Amino acid sequence: MDLQIKSFEEYQRIYQYSVEKPEEFWAEIAEHFYWRRKWNKVLEWNFKEPNIKWFEGARLNITENCLDRHVYKLGDKPAIIWEPNDPNEAHRVLTYKQLLDKVEQFSNVLKNNGIRKGDRVCIYLPMVPELVIAVLACARIGAIHSVVFGGFSAQSIADRINDADCRLVITADGGFRGTKQIALKSIVDDALVQCKSVERVIVLTRTRTPVSMIKGRDVWWEDEIKKVETQGNPPCPAEEMNAEDLLFILYTSGSTGKPKGVVHTCAGYMVYTGYTFTNAFQYQPDEVYFCTADIGWITGHSYIIYGPLSQGATSLMFEGVPNWPDAGRLWDIVEKHKVNILYTAPTAIRSLMAAGDQYVEGKDLSTITKLGTVGEPINEEAWHWYDQKIGKGKAPIVDTWWQTETGGFLISPIAGVTPTVPGYAMLPLPGVQPILVDENGQEIEGNGVSGNLCIKYPWPGMIRTTYGDHERCRQTYFSVYENLYFTGDGCLRDENGYYRITGRVDDVLNVSGHRIGTAEVENAINMHSDVIESAVVGYPHPVKGQGIYAFVIASQHHTDEDLTRQDINQTVSRIIGAIAKPDKIQFVSGLPKTRSGKIMRRILRKIAEGDTSNLGDTTTLLDPAVVDEIKEGAEKLR
Ligand code: 6R9
């Protein structure tokens, strides 16, 4: 069986086969990868514990699939094209051969610094090629990487390092993003005050920001590379890994306060990201593929690094932001590097659309053959603008629905092969068995229905556990509905059987495509000494998709509301990161609570949305009068 599906008829046939004979299907797909030893058993599973094992008995290293196996034929093909933040700085190209050399070199740096198979390494780097090198070097020697997005605070880094007991941190002096410089090393220094497990910090030079290097703990990336060079640059053969050995941990927000360390393992993740990448985008051998995500999120892991590289693709990574120096930057990059496939987020599309068509006009986008979106539901207006202005009406848009926990795309069009409808993720990819259930877990059959989206059969890229706390994994994903993986998303299946994701049904916000738990933001707000209690909900935001609305009971807000607002924002930035700062803070004297003390978020959500005409039944509230006061306050904020 070829990896790429070429017609709708073939999709239907293969989908059918993948459901009837999943193990045979995935074994055939897995044949397209390089194994040191093949599996004894394709799949072992139950969703009770859960216990999920793919390709047991197989031995492999994902970097041999992403690098070594391509070098013979594709050695001089660009693996990574790097476009810097500043358009006047030179871009960089790393061919497959060069990337392999650099990964081996840095693998030896890690080894020289005492890192061995199974050790956890925290990576807090800007979007530079060394980030890809660091990630792959960890994978090469069997160390487990935990990449932390550059926008997170010292506290968030410390929590993640401590949760995984990381022994080493890889960071840079600083990072460039638009007009901003972020002092990464200094943020790491603040974090490490709380981290006992870290023995070594490797610091890359990027911005030349002054940094304090601690003797015995901190070393420069460049010095460590020189040491390997003086050792004669020995090769670093890839560590042979078991199929279910841990590949990485990536933290993500859920409905409870503490981010979870989602665990992905070697074989299944490799097969799944490679298969879904090549299919959904129908990648052709000479195409340049540009994903605008940050590697700090799952999209960057799966679809900048592992998926494209395992398929021998040219993956373009961008250090900066879409609106600097102006809102034409992405289109300049497309023109400059003759990008064929562009994969971005609805929030970026909306903000560039709002900036005006003058930034697109005159740019040569004729190389574009396929477009993709990810991260949140896309509104029809943005979809059509993307289709018309960027794709010129001839590039299929793949609206890829998936999650950190799913490893790769679950529901998505296959470009040019399966149909597309604006706002729809369309049909499940082969091997994926979605079902809709009602509140009681009853399956909702047929078409023209909506419900909570679950998956009833394992796929190779799925979450295996939450690091250090398997019970949490079970409770969050596998206990809400018996024998199903619960996604946390609401979904509609239309008359044609096409899927449309309607958004989270739990207390998770999606702000500019970033997942943020309301409880997490509340915890951060509550850290402020003037705050007694708070409740956070999302509300529709024209660019971000969702904005963060905080209702806060404060002890002294009457002195100066605006100052208190700024202080709360500062607190949230410190505790989580600037991405979690509330867009609106409303001071209230009480929150609508049930007699059992539960906050009625439904009411707060409606008020935040500005839809107060029908708040539903408020008679069960402890103090119904508080609702009128909150309504009035909200009017004033609007
Ligand atoms: C890949 C990624 C996952 C949540 C997910 C859903 C939302 C992602 C979407 C989408 C509608 C799409 N989401 N893709 N909603 N259409 N194409 O974003 O992972 O950060 O874990 O977020 O994002 O709500 O549950 P992650």
Please name the residue whose Cα sits nearest to atom 2 of ligand 1: 403
Contact 125, 171 (CB under 8 A): yes
Residue 406 has what DSSP assignment?
G
Return the amino acid letter for 475: Q
The number of the ligand 1 atom at minimal distance from the alpha carbon of 504 is: 24
Low-confidence ranges of the chain (pLDDT < 50): none
Residue 280 amino acid letter = A
Predicted TM-score of the model (pTM):
0.96
Tokens standing for residue 201: 């910090």
Query: How does DSSP classify residue 37?
Result: B
Let me know: does 295 contact 305? Beta carbons within 8 Å: yes
Residue nearest to atom 5 of ligand 1 (CA): 403
Q: 3-state class of 412 per DSSP? A: coil
Cα separation, 512 vs 346, in Å, equals: 8
- Strands 288-291, 341-344: pairing kind: parallel
Q: Which of 388, 188, 397, 196 is nearest to 281 (CA)?
A: 397
CA of 409 to the centre of ligand 1 (A): 10
How far CA 2 is from CA of 25, 31, 180, 363, 578, in Å, comes to 11, 10, 46, 36, 45
Condensed to tens digits (0 to 9), the pLDDT of residues 579-633 reads 999 999 999 999 998 887 888 888 999 999 998 888 887 877 888 889 999 999 9
Rounded to the nearest angstrom, the distance between the alpha carbon of 484 and the centre of ligand 1 is 19
Per-residue confidence (pLDDT) for residue 229, from 0 to 100: 98
Integer Cα distance of 545 and 377 in angstroms: 8
Task: Tell how far the Cα of 395 is from the centroid of ligand 1, in angstroms.
Answer: 22
With CA atoms as reference, report the closest residue to 519 among 535, 505, 538.
Answer: 535
CA distance 592 to 580: 23
- H-helix segments, 410-554: 470-473, 518-526
Strands 260-265 and 465-466: antiparallel
Domain ranges of the chain: 8-62+265-463+474-503, 512-637
By the 10 Å C-beta count (0-12 exposed, 13-18 middle, 19+ buried), 235 is classed as exposed
For 168-208, strand residue ranges (E) read: 168-172, 175-177, 180-182, 200-204
Start-to-end Cα distance in the chain? 57
Instruction: For residue 66, report the distance from its CA to the centre of ligand 1, in Å.
Output: 25
Taking CB atoms within 8 Å and a gap of at least 24, the contacts of 595-604 are 595/620, 595/621, 595/622, 597/622, 599/535, 601/507, 601/518, 601/535, 601/537, 603/627, 604/535, 604/537, 604/549, 604/551, 604/630
Is CATH 3.40.50.12780 correct for 8-62+265-463+474-503?
Answer: yes
Burial per residue of 269-292, b for 16 or more beta-carbon CB atoms within 10 angstroms, e otherwise? bbbbbbbbbbbbbbbeeebbbbbb
Q: How far is the CA of 264 from the centre of ligand 1 (A)?
A: 17
Q: Provide the ipTM.
A: 1.00
Residue 209, exposed/middle/buried by CB under 10 A (0-12, 13-18, 19+)?
middle
Give the C-alpha separation, 288 to 311, whole Å.
13
φ, ψ of residue 344 in degrees (nearest 5): -145, -170
Residue 124 DSSP symbol: E
Q: Whose CA is nearest to atom 11 of ligand 1?
A: 377
Which of 376, 386, 466 best tests ligand 1's pocket when mutated (most atoms within 8 Å of CB)?
Answer: 376
Query: Closest ligand 1 atom to the C-alpha of 508?
Result: 24
**Ligand 1 geometric centre to CA of 435 (Å):** 17
Strands (E) located in 374-527: 397-399, 434-437, 449-455, 465-466, 485-493, 499-504, 508-511, 514-517
Using an 8 Å Cβ cutoff, are 261 and 465 in contact? no
Phi, psi angle pair for 350, to nearest 5°: -65, -40
Q: Which mutation among 262, 402, 487 tests ligand 1's pocket best, with the greatest number of atoms within 8 A of CB?
A: 402
Which among 489, 509, 546 is the best mutation to test ligand 1's pocket, defined by most ligand atoms within 8 Å of the CB?
Answer: 489
620-629 burial, b for 16+ CB within 10 Å, e for fewer? Answer: ebeeeebbee
Tokens 């879904």 belong to residue: 276
Distance separating alpha carbons of residues 107 and 34, to the nearest angstrom: 20
Six token digits for residue 186: 């200094």
Query: Which numeric CATH code is attached to 512-637?
Result: 3.30.300.30
Tokens of 328: 């034409």
**Token match 């990448």: residue?**
277
Enumerate residues 6+ apart whose C-beta is below 8 A from 634. 586, 607, 608, 610, 612
Instruction: Specify the ligand 1 atom closest to the Cα of 404.
Output: 21
Residue 377 alpha carbon to ligand 1 centre in Å = 8
Strands 241-242 and 59-60: antiparallel
- For residue 638, the model assigns a pLDDT of 84
For ligand 1, which residues put their CB under 6 angstroms from it? Answer: 252, 297-299, 374-377, 399-404, 425, 487-489, 501, 503-504, 510, 513, 515
Q: Centre a 10 Å sphere on the Cβ of residue 506 and count the other Cβ atoms it contains.
A: 17
Spatial separation of the C-alpha atoms in residues 586 and 578, rounded to whole Å: 19
Scanning 113-183, the segments in alpha helix (DSSP H) are: 129-141, 154-164
* Ligand 1 pocket mutation pick from 269, 510, 516 by most atoms within 8 angstroms of CB: 510
Query: Cα Rg for the chain, rounded, in angstroms?
Result: 24
Q: Cα–Cα distance between 182 and 577 in angstroms, integer?
A: 12
Paired tokens of 366? 């004729």
Report pLDDT for 615.
83
Element (H, E) at 352: helix 346-355
pLDDT at 597: 81
Q: Tell me if domain 8-62+265-463+474-503 and domain 512-637 are identical in fold.
A: no
pLDDT of residue 284: 98
- 439 Cβ contact partners less than 8 Å away, ≥ 6 residues apart: 452
Residue whose Cα lies nearest atom 12 of ligand 1: it is 401
* Predicted confidence (pLDDT) per residue in 549-590, tens digit: 999 999 875 678 899 999 999 999 999 999 999 999 999 999
Dist. CA 515 → ligand 1 center (Å): 8
Residue 412 CA: nearest ligand 1 atom is 17
Contact between residue 522 and residue 353 where contact means Cβ atoms under 8 Å apart: no
Strand partners, 609: none
Phi, psi of 308 (to 5 degrees): -60, -45
What is the number of residues in the chain? 638
Q: 89: buried, middle or exposed (CB in 10 Å: 19+, 13-18, 0-12)?
A: exposed
Give the per-residue pLDDT at 557.
Answer: 55
